[in-house]
Amino acid sequence: MKEEKKFLVVVAGPTAVGKTAFSIQLAQYFGTEIISADSRQLYQKMTIGTAKPTEEERAAVPHHFIDILPPEKDYNAGHFERDALALLDELFKKHQAVVVAGGSGMYVQALCNGIDQMPEVPTVLRNQLNEKLEKEGLAGLVAELKALDPLYYEEVDRQNPQRVVRALEICLHTGQPFSSFRQQKTAKRPFKIIKIGLERPREELYQRIGARMDAMIAEGLFEEAASLYPKKSLNALQTVGYREIFDYMDGFYDREEAVRLLKRNSRRYAKRQLTWFRKDPEFLWLHPGELPKAIDYIERKIKEAL
């Protein structure tokens, strides 16, 4: 008997582009479920700042990997690869296709292509680096990474504290460059992968980012960040949407400047996400309003593979 082919439909793109609504409509059409590939939405108590799908949206379509861990729990792309593949084994028993949606490039890459196995790093070292980041800023850590691993320094997003800290902790713990552990071999998967990238004209996207940030603030973003302030050195909280408010609470600038930085840094984050995903030629890029075109493309890909 011929084994039935299975399909993973990836919906990726920058923050505020409209991935949530698009993915829900797509999943409803195909009668399936959604795996969130967002490295922050999986944490509890970080609801407003990570723009999690609402309870109504999650009721419309089953979502996975949202609100599953406390902020204190370390979790990375390697953990996500392992856990998401195990979940897919179960979901593919019920569905021919499953949707994965998110803006965390490393998570999407880990699930689709595999990720190099990195040594386990003591939590105390990670905490020390995050405390150094908090007290001295990112520039010092970037300079340290340049000295320890000039090869990775040339390609890392040097504005992304999580990536810099992750590389540094490997360098310091092992005494070897982080780049020496990156073989970038593509893992074989027992399913076909179809990739949809969502994009909007830049000004339209930036307008949406600003409007969403205003809405998040009105919903209580500053209050949510204040409730998390005692844990601000945790790796989970080294992210746009919280760092700016923590610095405001520490007296580095006023609330007006915090809001300006929240919007600016969200725009910069969106640009980095687009740069990451556009490196992958397998994506079909569409405006979120082009759902019928996406459905036609997915159905054609499925038909070709069967």
Residues 136-173 have pLDDT tens digits of 989 999 999 999 999 999 988 888 888 899 999 999 99
CA proximity to 188, closest of 295, 85, 274, 293? 85
- The fold of 123-181 is Histone, subunit A (1.10.20)
pLDDT band for position 1 (cuts 50, 70, 90): very low
Most confident of 30-39, 126-135, 182-191: 30-39
**36: pLDDT strictly greater than 50:** yes
Strand order across the 34-36 sheet = 63-64, 34-36, 97-102, 7-12, 192-198, 283-286
- Return left, alpha or beta for 13; rule: phi > 0 is left, psi -120 to 50 is alpha, else beta: left
Output the pLDDT for position 262.
98
The owner of tokens 């979790």 is 75
Q: Domain residue spans in the chain?
A: 7-116+184-305, 123-181
Residue with tokens 């386990």: 120
Gap between the Cα atoms of 295 and 23, Å rounded: 11
Length of the chain: 306
Tokens 């980041």: give the residue: 133
Q: Are β-strands 7-12 and 283-286 bridged in parallel, bridged antiparallel, or unpaired?
A: unpaired
Asked whether the CA dihedral 24, 9, 100, 205 is positive or negative, the reply is negative
Q: Dihedral, CA atoms, 125, 130, 134, 136, nearest 10 degrees? A: 50
Distance CA 46, CA 44 (A): 5
pLDDT of residue 222: 98
- Whether 185 has a pLDDT exceeding 80, the answer reads no
Helices and strands, counts by H and E, the chain = 13, 6
**pLDDT-above-70 percentage for the chain:** 98
Q: What is the pTM of this model?
A: 0.84
DSSP assignment of 91-138, as one string?
HTTT-SEEEEEES-HHHHHHHHH---------HHHHHHHHHHHHHH-H
Contact 163, 156 (CB under 8 A): yes
Kind and range of the H or E run holding 146: helix 138-148
Is the pLDDT at 191 greater than 70? The verdict is yes
The whole-angstrom separation of Cα 262 and Cα 90 is 39
184 vs 35, higher pLDDT: 35
Q: Is the CA virtual torsion 235, 251, 220, 212 positive or negative?
A: negative
Distances (CA, A) of 203 to 19, 200, 270: 18, 8, 12
Superfamily of domain 7-116+184-305: P-loop containing nucleotide triphosphate hydrolases (3.40.50.300)
Q: If you average pLDDT over residues 271-288, what whole number do you get?
A: 95
Query: Which residues, 6+ apart, have CB-to-CB distance to 57 below 8 Å?
Result: 20, 21, 24, 63
CA distances from 200 to 102, 177, 256 (A): 16, 38, 28
**Do 45 and 111 touch, CB atoms closer than 8 A?**
no
